[in-house]
Amino acid sequence: MSEKDSLTKFFYPSSVLLVGVSAKEKSIGYEILKQMLSFGFTGKIFITNPNRDEILGIKCHKSIKEIDEKIDLAIILLPKHLVYDSIVECNEKMIKSIIIITAGFREVGDEGAKLEKQIIEFCKANSIRIIGPNCMGLINTSEEIKLNATFAAEVPRYSYISFLSQSGALAAAVLNTIKETGYTFGQFVSIGNKADVNENDLLEFWYSDDKTKIITMYLESFENGREFFHLTKNVTNEKPVIVVKAGRTKSGSRAALSHTGAMASEDDIVNAALTQSNCIRTETIEEMFETAKVLLHLPEIRGNKIAIITNAGGPAILCVDELEKNGLKLADLSDLTKQRLKEIVHPEGSLNNPVDMLPGADAKTYERATKIIAEDENVDALIVIFVEPVMIDAYEVIKSMYDIQKAIKKTMIIVTFPLPNFWNKWKEGNFNDAVILKSIELAPKVIKNVFHYYYTRHKRKNIKESYTLDQKTYNAIKYILMKYETNSSIKEFIKSTDSQLILKRLKLPFINNFYFNNIRELKRNLKNVTFPCVLKASSSIYSHKTEIGGVILDIKSKKELINSFQELSKKLSARNLIQKIDGYEIQTFYKGDVEVIIGAVRDKSFGPVVLFGAGGKFVEVIEDKNFRIAPLSKSDAIELIQSSKIYPILTGYRRTKTNIDELANIVQKISLLIWHFDEIEEIDLNPVIIGKKIKIVDWRIRTNFQ
């Protein structure tokens, strides 16, 4: 059974049973029943309460089994110790869709968690789907259902937006203020503890639900990040997914930013997954719903050139500031447009963008100017600002702008500051599809979100690339790793010689190491050393050679090399580190201009992820941490590199241009390496030095063999 089928009865039930309704006003069960009745549920309502005959005019059944008719959806309101038994009874009546409103499970500790587990085990065994526990219910405002199975008194007007909230309270806050905000949505669900149904199930359900065109989510955690990523990557090709993800944990302390694992904060990876799957991540709930509205009601935005039309200078200037912050541009209006505007706009106004028509501009002026500007090819979207002046009728202007918003083929957002009376009159009308903001700052953010969504969707449509290592390379690497799997004296980091071999199999541009163990071996091989060279102590315990002072750069001669080696061994001995050294390495010294880090690590929820960013000593200052979910296509890899702060330097004016394609090749292969081999936990190529060529000069691979 697909998600579509298994969740349908939650949102489209013909009959709903409320289990354990109290007759006490203000109790949750009583309030849910009241809301269901007052919102006018189109199906049948059944309730149980062993001590009453009726509540709010609905007959009380003594128990579930007493009910004769078929029931699609049960909502359980009982105290937690009665929940399990009631589910068993539901099952006997073949009720397979159950919402548990009751709290006191996993969220309060071990005992609750145990109870929750028992319930879920029973449900799994009997093909029952559960929403909750510890949730606030579900709403479907669609005309043929009219279900408000929550204790929220306010209900939104219908639209094709669906909304999931991991927090019942956050949803309550949204619903409490819905008269003021005017947000609309068709389906709402509060998923509480996510004991069974989670955000991934709902993504699948809403993907195939005809009544859903935009998916919005407030999330505090991901049940299975990797699955979420794969689902949204697919869903966003057809339906936008907008996410507020709360609970950004702090990134690790600065001192720890020396390898991929420590650099990857949970929030970095969430960001990577959301970016890569083309979800829109917003900072606030307000931004989420306003973005949804624009996506639902207004035309596609195909570029970042914005025109502002205003009757007031100040707000327009603030708006321009926000445009720039959001990477949008003020459109250059064409000469023709300016010529046409000249006939309309007050001679002391401004014909340049922002077009300032001065306070005298009335509905007619706004209408004509907006139409002219919308026709300008240089304009991708419009922001119309209207501050109500004394001499102008605000209702006329805003109503005419609303009509234009619906009529023109470009997205136009209205930002307005009318007197309070306006809103009273406006709310009498039925303008749910109007996009009218009361905040200057929000309009550019929303436009950026929408533009970026479409831009990415189109760009990705045409990309078809392969994502796997060829069989021969795979086998060769598997062979190297197998040794570790069977070896009893396993070490966490695989040996430098072996990791060098892996890089070689991947055909990556590393600088060859010459390995040796003592002065005798060194002297015997001196003739093969190219100067200047680098001497390193290698250790599979210490992740960073520089940490133990184990690197000497730019050695110019044989004599200097011998001296350096003796110095190094002496230093390591003095610090009691000599036993922890696996051996020594000599490498030709490569001096470039820029150092980058390429890495990969396995995240618990999102699986393998890849890192690209600035390396070297500035890494902490720049905080150039850019992640993507592995495996990466070549274009994913290029996108990752382009998203870094170091990118302008790589392509900058002061130096030879970096071969980005070659760099992307390394990034992609590293993503494939961690993707194919579950035994690899973390990979660091650090630094990768970029000069005339690209050279990997240090690397390490950590396995998860114990």
Task: Name which of 14 and 27 has its Cβ closer to a second copy.
Answer: 27
Shortest Å, Cβ 264 to a second copy: 18
Query: What is the H or E stretch that residue 281 is in?
Result: strand 280-281
Shortest Å, Cβ 194 to a second copy: 14
Distance CA 20, CA 476 (A): 63
Shortest Å, Cβ 621 to a second copy: 5
Distance from chain centroid for Cα 295: 18
251's tokens: 């990134």
Task: Name which of 143 and 547 has its Cβ closer to a second copy.
Answer: 547
DSSP 434-490: --EES-TTHHHHHHHHHHHHHHHHHHHHT--------HHHHHHHHHHHHHHHH-SS-
| CA distance readout (Å), 22 to 18, 242, 517 | 10, 37, 80
Shortest Å, Cβ 300 to a second copy: 28
Task: Name which of 161 and 392 has its Cβ closer to a second copy.
Answer: 392
Distance CA 88, CA 92 (A): 6
Q: For residues 190 and 136, is the Cβ–Cβ distance under 8 A?
A: yes
Task: Name which of 220 and 465 has its Cβ closer to a second copy.
Answer: 220
Shortest Å, Cβ 183 to a second copy: 13
| CA distance readout (Å), 465 to 267, 312, 608, 633, 663 | 28, 50, 19, 6, 17
Shortest Å, Cβ 205 to a second copy: 22
Task: Name which of 57 and 420 has its Cβ closer to a second copy.
Answer: 420
Shortest Å, Cβ 654 to a second copy: 7
Task: Name which of 439 and 635 has its Cβ closer to a second copy.
Answer: 439
Distance CA 515, CA 61 (A): 82
Shortest Å, Cβ 191 to a second copy: 12
Cα-flanking dihedrals φ and ψ of residue 579, to 5°? Answer: -70, -20
Task: Name which of 20 and 631 has its Cβ closer to a second copy.
Answer: 20
Task: Name which of 129 and 245 has its Cβ closer to a second copy.
Answer: 245
For Cα atoms 51, 55, 57, give the angle at the middle one, nearest 5 degrees: 135
Q: For residues 535 and 513, is the Cβ–Cβ distance under 8 A?
A: no
DSSP β-ladder status, 329-330 and 381-387: unpaired
Shortest Å, Cβ 509 to a second copy: 22
Shortest Å, Cβ 291 to a second copy: 16
Task: Name which of 237 and 651 has its Cβ closer to a second copy.
Answer: 651
Q: For residues 599 and 611, is the Cβ–Cβ distance under 8 A?
A: yes
Query: What is the H or E stretch that residue 613 is in?
Result: strand 607-614
Shortest Å, Cβ 198 to a second copy: 16
Instruction: List helix spans (H) across 13-60.
Output: 28-39
373's tokens: 């500007």
- CB under 8 Å to 259, separation ≥6 — which residues? 543, 544, 599, 682, 684, 686
Task: Name which of 418 and 607 has its Cβ closer to a second copy.
Answer: 418
Task: Name which of 175 and 508 has its Cβ closer to a second copy.
Answer: 175
